[in-house]
Amino acid sequence: MMNSFSRRAFLAGSAALALGVSGPSIAGNPILLVRGAIEGADAGGNRRFDLEALQAMPQTSFKTATPWNKTPVTYSGVAVGTFLAALKAKGTRLRLIALNDYAVVADVEDLADNGAILAIAKDGAPLPISDKGPIFVVFPFDRDSKLRSDSFYLYAVWQLCQIDVL
Would you place residue 135 in the very low, low, confident or very high pLDDT band (cuts 50, 70, 90)? very high
Residue 84 has pLDDT above 50, yes or no: yes
pTM of the model: 0.84
What pLDDT is recorded for position 27? 53
Q: Give the integer Cα–Cα distance in Å for 33 and 103.
A: 14
Q: Are 75 and 136 within 8 A, CB to CB?
A: yes
pLDDT at 14 over 60: no
Using the predicted structure, report yes or no on whether residue 19 has a pLDDT greater than 60.
Answer: no
pLDDT given for residue 28 in this prediction: 74
The pLDDT value given to residue 1: 47
Q: Round the average pLDDT of the chain to a whole number and report it.
A: 88
Which comes out higher in pLDDT, residue 108 or 25? 108
Domain ranges of the chain: 7-165
CATH topology of domain 7-165: Sulfite Oxidase; Chain A, domain 2 (3.90.420)
Beta strand 160-165 with 32-36: parallel, antiparallel or unpaired? parallel
Q: For residue 18, what pLDDT band results from cuts at 50, 70 and 90?
A: very low
Higher pLDDT, 147 or 3: 147
Q: Which region holds residue 102: left if phi is over 0, alpha if psi is between -120 and 50, else beta? A: beta
